[in-house]
Amino acid sequence: MIEVAVFCSMAAVALVSAVLVVTLRNTVHCALFLGLSLAGVAGVFGTLAADFLFVSQILIYVGGIAVLMIFAVMLMGRTSDLTLRQVNQEWLAGLLVCAITAAGLLRQAKGFLGKAADAPARALAAQAATKPLGRLMLGDFAVPFELISLVLMAALLGAIFFTRKEDEPKSTENGKPGRGGGT
Amino acid sequence: MSELYPKPVFSKKAGRLLKTRLWPTERWASPWSQPQYRRSAGMLAGIIFGILLVGVVVGELSKWGDLLYRLLLTGTAWLHQTLPAYGAPAGFLGDAADITWISFKVIVIVAVINLNGLWAVWWERKLSAHMQSRLGPMYAGGFHGWAQTALDAVKLLLKEDARPADADGAVHRLAPVVVIVPAVLAFAPVLFGKELAAAKLDVGALYVLAVSGVSVIGIVMAGWASNNKFSLLGGLRSAAQVVSYEIPRIFAVVPVLMFVGSLDLAVIDQAQQGYWWGFFPRWFVFWFPAGPLAFLLFLIASLAETNRVPFDIPEAESELVAGFMTEYSGMKWALFFLAEYAYVLLACFMLSVFFLGGGAAPLPFLAIVPSWIWMLAKALAMMFLFMWLRWTLPRFRVDQLMDFNWKFLLPWSFACVGLAGIMLLWI
């Protein structure tokens, strides 16, 4: 019963704050609600006994990505714009994409809807699951896992490449030998 | 004042100032600071006082925990049998018992955080005073100003809660809460002794590191909502610093996790029991070379994560007034400090669990001392190290800070993981 209550409240937090992210006009508030929404998703993972996912969601999304978003929004300076429209011409396409995604997810979840977890599944969820997860990642699913890391590596290199300054002349304003390229 | 400074007698025979009693630290002290060193009694008393204060709450009361829980369960079961007419669903009373029990644990954890804040502030004041040859608080309470922090807390409660007119009200009000809540949450799987934790988590080590990183959102909120350039700069510096230092901090734990093969703090603690050659403790800090290196990296990164000198540029008072805390007063301001000290305690417990053997005794025959005393003593020794560093080192510049992280700590933490892998080949 506690699990259901916590699950529902966490899901509500995630959904409500996700709606607030796109409807609020103050960009900093939007970024903060994004963090709350991601934390709500982490809470959903937690109530579903997916410990590792719960912790990685907090570590990467709440502690990393949300903080970077807030950082970027604050550096931008202008934090709110009361005149800008909240939607543009592409709202219909966006709605369609959402509908298709929701339909696909529902189709996937249909088999589990309205069913309480049976005893073996509960017992499986209660025991330590991190070690088997690690074994699967580097065993049966090693190729997709490494492919994802390759994609991340490419993204990382791309980010460094695009933020890198063009090679400057070797001397700085002081006339001293500078640091060379903006690496 | 003559009582505070008993006049030393100069003896021509001995060629130095003579005193009836000498503390061990006094022998190497300069003559100018000798009267202050005489107050070392206060320091020792403080350490013992702290161990008792925090330890009695956690260590001794927790022994009764299982008994209390069983009483709670039998009580609710009895209620359910005798009063079935109320028609409560079968699982309801069990859930109620669980909720009550979890609330108990939360209260204990919050008590630890509060007492730690109360005591660590006083300890830090006394320590800084002794390190800089002054007295620190001496009057409140009588004995070495022991009541100073408690009275400070009363003062902070009575203070006006000032808020800038142009501040973003909701965010400004919420910021201290967002800072303190992860601090309490992060204590859930922390081991206070052998098998002595509020929650047993399979991913405990990662959980602590992840949740303690969330507080930075509160700091950034405080910086932005104050509508003040100094505060905003403090918040931005803090965000950049915490996000960067989190990476080497987590990588420094990886060697330990590789040695143990588990993320569970109780298992990590258990793995360091036992002795080499019958007397040398098998703590991970002694697993040369990856162990000491990882310990150092984790210590440095923890200092940076807790925003303490030499990494306290988010609140550098010589540049930014008080950084993100500039526009806060009263209890909201105190909450930031409470969270800082909670994180220091958390980092110290993590250091002792990961590297210093947790509840293991340093020598076999000392194992009769309860494990929570060892755990707490190690954590407090680490806390002493934190304060020692704070009061002896100057602070970094912003660019030095980032260079230090990305060009020194991070490569060495990678090297540390590699070293641990090579070591695992031989073990």
Question: Is the distance from CB of B382 to CB of B345 less than 8 angstroms?
Answer: no
- B290 neighbors B420 (Cβ within 8 angstroms): yes
Q: Evaluate if residue B270 carries a pLDDT over 70.
A: yes
- A170 pLDDT band, cuts 50/70/90, is low
Judge whether residue A36 has pLDDT over 80. yes
Strands (E), B35-115: none
Q: Give the residue from chain A lying closest to B212, CA to CA.
A: A63
Ranking A73-82, B54-63, B122-131, B334-343 by mean pLDDT, the lowest is B54-63
Report which listed range, B4-8, B106-110, B185-189, B190-194, is most confident: B185-189
Comparing alpha-carbon positions, the chain B residue that sits nearest to A72 is B236
Query: What are the φ and ψ backbone dihedral angles of B146, each rounded to 5 degrees?
Result: -65, -25
> Regarding predicted confidence, which is higher, B313 or A93?
A93
pLDDT class of A119 with cuts at 50, 70, 90: low
Contact indicator for B270, B195 with CB cutoff of 8 Å: no
Across the interface, do B203 and A64 touch by the CB < 8 Å criterion? no
- pLDDT over threshold 60, residue B284: yes
pTM of the predicted model as reported, rounded to 2 decimal places: 0.79
pLDDT value of residue A178 = 46
pLDDT(A175) > 50:
no
| Residues A14 and A41: beta-carbon distance below 8 Å | yes
pLDDT at A150 over 90: yes
Which of A63-72, B17-26, B59-68, B192-201 has the lowest average pLDDT?
Answer: B17-26
pLDDT for B60 equals: 61
Q: For residue B152, which of B348, B21, B410, B331 has the smallest C-alpha distance?
A: B331
Counted across chains A and B, CB pairs separated by less than 8 A come out at 90
- State in Å, rounded, how far the first CA of chain B is from the last one: 62
> Residue A55: its chain B contacts at CB < 8 A?
203, 206-207, 210
Q: Supply the pLDDT for residue A180.
A: 45
Predicted pLDDT of residue B297: 92
Whether residues B99 and A39 touch (CB distance < 8 A) is answered with no
Which residues of chain A does B261 touch, with a Cβ-Cβ cutoff of 8 Å?
A: 131
The string of DSSP letters for B339-382 reads: HHHHHHHHHHHHHHHHTS-TT--SSGGGGGS-HHHHHHHHHHHH
Give residue B289's pLDDT: 85
Under an 8 A CB cutoff, do A29 and B171 touch? yes
* Arithmetic mean of pLDDT over chain B: 79
From CA B314, how far away is CA B326, in angstroms rounded? 11
- Using a CB-CB cut-off of 8 Å, the residues of chain B touching A130 are 202-203, 262-263
Among chain B residues, the shortest Cα distance to A34 is held by B217
- A29 contacts B220? CB cut-off 8 A: no
* pLDDT greater than 90 at residue B281: no
Distance in angstroms (rounded) separating the CA atoms of residues B196 and B352: 14
Contact map slice: B 331-390 vs A, CB within 8 A: none
CA dihedral B386, B391, B392, B395 (to 10 degrees): 90
Q: H or E element: which one contains A157?
A: helix A142-163
B window 206-265, beta carbon within 8 A of A: 206-207, 209-211, 213-214, 216-217, 220-221, 223-224, 232, 235-236, 239-240, 242-243, 246, 250, 261-264
Beta strand B16-18 pairing with B280-281? unpaired
pLDDT at B2: 42
Q: Do B236 and A64 touch (CB under 8 A)?
A: no
**Which residue did the predictor score with more confidence, B140 or B409?**
B409
Which of the pair, B122 or B169, is modelled with greater confidence? B122
Secondary structure of B140-207 in HEC code, one letter for each residue: CCCCCCCCHHHHHHHHHHHCCCCCCCCCCHHHHHHHHHHHHHHHHHCCCCCCCCCCCCCCCCCCHHHH
Cα of B106 to nearest chain A Cα, Å: 17
B402 contact A CB<8A: no
Whether A52 contacts chain B with CB within 8 A = yes
> Across the interface, which of B89, B232, B243 has its CB nearest the CB of A68?
B243
Of A50-64, B147-161, B399-413, the poorest mean pLDDT is in B147-161
Identity of the residue in B203, B216, B232 whose CB atom sits nearest the CB atom of A130? B203
Does A128 contact B at CB distance below 8 Å? Answer: yes
% of chain B exceeding 90 in pLDDT? 9
For chain A, give every domain's residue range.
Answer: 1-76, 124-165
| CB contact B152 to A (< 8 Å) | no
| Model pLDDT for residues B153-206, shown as the tens digit of each residue | 888 888 888 888 877 778 888 888 999 999 988 988 888 877 777 788 888 888
B177 reaches A (C-beta below 8 A): no
Tell me which of B279 and B1 has the higher pLDDT: B279
DSSP bridge partners of A171: A177
Question: Do residues B370 and B55 lie in contact, with contact meaning Cβ atoms separated by under 8 Å?
Answer: no
Task: For residue A26, report the phi and psi dihedrals to the nearest 5 degrees.
Answer: -85, 120
H or E element that contains B246:
helix B229-260
Within 8 A of A59 by CB-CB distance, chain B residues are 206, 209-210, 213, 250
| pLDDT higher than threshold 60 for residue B86 | no
The two tokens of residue A171 are 């001397």
Whole-angstrom distance, CA of residue A81 vs CA of residue A103: 34
What secondary structure does DSSP assign to B94-155, as a single string?
HHHHHHHHHHHHHHHHHHHHHHHHHHHHHHHHHHHHHHTTS--S-STTSSTTTTHHHHHHHH
- Considering only CB atoms, which chain A residues are within 8 Å of B218? none
For the ranges A66-70, A101-105, B201-205, B241-245, the maximum mean pLDDT occurs at A101-105
Handedness of CA A42, A44, A47, A52 (dihedral sign): negative
pLDDT band (50, 70, 90) for residue B332 = confident
Radius of gyration of chain B (CA): 24
Question: 10 Å Cβ neighbour count for B219?
Answer: 31
Contacting residues of A for B243, CB less than 8 Å apart: 63-64, 67-68, 71
Find, in chain B, the residue whose alpha carbon is nearest to that of A54: B207
First-to-final CA distance of chain A: 55
Chain B interface mutation, best of A3, A59, A79, A179, highest count of B Cβ atoms under 10 Å: A59
CB-nearest partner of A32 from B95, B209, B221: B221
Chain A residue numbers touching B242 (CB-CB < 8 A): 67
Closest CB from B91, B209, B261 relative to A1: B91
Q: How far is A105 from chain B (nearest CA, A)?
A: 28
- The arithmetic mean of pLDDT across residues B246-271, rounded, is 88
**Contacts for B303 with CB less than 8 Å, ≥ 6 apart:** B310, B311, B347, B386, B389
| 3-class DSSP state of A177 | strand
Task: Report chain A residues whose CB lies below 8 A from the CB of B235.
Answer: 74
| Closest CB from A35, A55, A56 relative to B217 | A35
| Residue whose entry in the numeric block shows the structure tokens 């994004």 | A34
- For the cut 60, the answer to whether the pLDDT of residue B387 exceeds it is yes
Contact B202 A29 (CB under 8 A): no
What whole-number percentage of chain B has pLDDT above 70? 78
> B211, A58: Cβ pair inside 8 Å?
yes
Strand B16-18 with B9-11, pairing: antiparallel
Residues above pLDDT 70, as percent of chain A:
77
Residue B88 contacts A where some CB pair is shorter than 8 Å: no
The CATH label, of 1.20.120.1200, 3.40.50.720, 3.30.470.20, 3.50.50.60, for the domain at A1-76 is 1.20.120.1200
Report residue A118's pLDDT band, with 50, 70 and 90 as the boundaries.
low
